[in-house]
Each structure stands twice: as C-alpha cells, then as structure tokens.
Structure 1
Amino acid sequence: MAEMGAQKDKTPSELIDGRIAELGDWRGETLARVRALVKQAIPEVVEEWKWRGVPTWYHNGMICTGETYKDKVKMTFVKGAKVDDPAGLFNASLTGNARRAIDFYEGDEIDEGALVTLLRSAAALNVKA
C-alpha cells in the first residue's frame, strides 16, 4: 500500500524514469531511446502514466504508448492505421482498423529518422481530428 502512495506523489515523467531504471536491461535502454525520440519529434508532448504502468504520450490527443514485456518493447499508435508508414516500421497489430504497433526486440536497430517522421505524422492526425 505504501508503494501506491509513493507512486501517487510522483509525476508521470518520474514514474517513466523509474520504469526505465527498474528494467535495467536492453528494454530500459530501448524505452529510454524511444522516449527521447518522442520528445524530439514532438517537443510539446505530454507524458502520462496509464493503466497501472504504461508510459503514454499525448499531443492534442493520445499518440502512442511504450509498453514493456519480457521479450520486447512495444510502441502502440492509437491511430496507426491512418498513419502513412513509408519505411514499414509497423510490424505488429496490423489487422485492426485503428491501432498499429512496432515491436522492438533485443538487438533491433531503431530507424530513428523514420520513427521521428512517423511520430510527427501521428501527432498531426490529432490536430486534424
């Protein structure tokens, strides 16, 4: 119960910092890199901590999440099906009519330029909505 109280006293950004540190492996490094690219792509982005531990990024609406699993880091784009993906970054959740995701596995390279472009496109959809 004390841990829940301690979490309530922290900002979403502090909770995300904690998650990155807690992971302490390639997943933490990947989440930190993804987070930095989100902030680079969308300087006005707002970080939230949703669903008991999922980093979530907003700008005029939700853009994406940064989920961590035992074997991957997953970026889920809430309106991904509407986002142009010329670099073919989306590799998961490809059959739905709304979301698309990118699963990063240990050792994967991140195409930073393509991801920044994808993030900006996703944020632009929220402005048009």
Structure 2
Amino acid sequence: MKKATASMKKSGSGQQAEEASPSQMIDARIEELKDWRGEALARVRALIRQAEPDVVEEWKWRGVPVWECGGIICTGETYKSVVKLTFARGAALEDPWGLFNSSLEGNTRRAIDIHESDKIDEEALKALVRAAAALNMSAKASRSKK
C-alpha cells in the first residue's frame, strides 16, 4: 500500500489542492510516530477493522483518528506515554474483560490507555468494538423509527 503524508497534494494544474484521505492520514500518523505508539495504533486499527469490516475511518479535531459505524465507535489519540482509545458511548457498554482503565468517572465515554509494555487482549477488544458498533446501529435504528 502506498504511504501518504498528511500534507496537501496539488493536482497537475497546481490550482486545486486535494487533501489526503482519512485513511492515508492515519497511515501517515502511524509512520511518523516511529516507535511503540505507532505499532500500538497500527495494531488496534487492524483489530477494529477485523471486528467491524464496515468501519469508516475519519480524521477529526486536527489530527485524531476516528472509527465510525452508525456513529463514533472510538478515537485513537497518541500521547507521550500512552495510546488512548476513547469509546464515545463506552459507559453504555458492558466490559466483562476490564479493558476500560481511563475516563471512568463520566456518564458517556470510557477509554483504554495502552502503555508501552501492555499486551492487548485482542479478542476482548474486538468484542468491545463489535458491541460499540451494535449499540450505535441500534440507536440509529430507533431514531429512524421516530
């Protein structure tokens, strides 16, 4: 797969600027990190795509990877010592695996902070992603019936 940078690309005429796609911008973020955070972000991205093949990748808020299916499933922020997966409606999700370890005090979101030495429970994360997508789709279906 061809790597893209997050910068603007100019067309042949030089008059129209074409921005990289959200997926290309996520690729560029992973590549620019060049450390464990890039590897962790790439791994969770792959797991999200496996769990929910219809997921749509977005790039919001000036540089945050976002995965959506019927609404936001989660975001993937990178900080100096953590990769943070924030589930938009995490407080409404069952978490029998105990993956949520951050942003536990709110009424809506929940997050998973992944540190350098952490091992990702891949099956649990995929189940959580599927549950988040199902919650979004059920909410979307109930809104459309009104």
Gap regions ≥5 residues in structure 1: none
Q: Following the alignment from structure 2 to structure 1, what is the Cα–Cα distance between the partners of residues 135 and 63?
A: 25
- Residue deviations 1:22-70, cap 9 Å, x none? 0000000000000000000000000000011000000011110000000
Query: Does residue 48 of the first structure (1) align with residue 51 of the second (2)?
Result: no
Q: 1:30 aligns with which of 17, 31, 40?
A: 40
What residue number does 2:129 align with?
119
Structure with the higher helix share, 1 or 2: 1
Percent identity over the alignment?
63
Query: Does residue 5 of the first structure (1) align with residue 1 of the second (2)?
Result: no
Asked which structure has the greater RCO (Cα within 8 Å, sep 6+), the reply is: 1
Q: Shift of the alpha carbon at 1:107? A: 1.1
Question: How large is the RMSD of aligned CA atoms in angstroms?
Answer: 1.3
Number of residue pairs aligned between Structure 1 and Structure 2: 127
What residue number does 1:61 align with?
71
The higher radius of gyration belongs to: 2
Gap regions ≥5 residues in structure 2: 1-5, 10-16, 140-146
Q: Could you tell me which amino acid in structure 1 is paired with residue 110 of structure 2?
A: R
Q: Following the alignment from structure 1 to structure 2, what is the Cα–Cα distance between the partners of residues 58 and 83?
A: 16
Q: 1:73 aligns with which of 83, 100, 103?
A: 83
What residue number does 1:39 align with?
49
What residue number does 2:143 align with?
none
Q: 2:30 aligns with which of 20, 26, 29?
A: 20
**TM-score normalised to the size of structure 2?**
0.84
Q: Following the alignment from structure 2 to structure 1, what is the Cα–Cα distance between the partners of residues 132 and 19?
A: 31
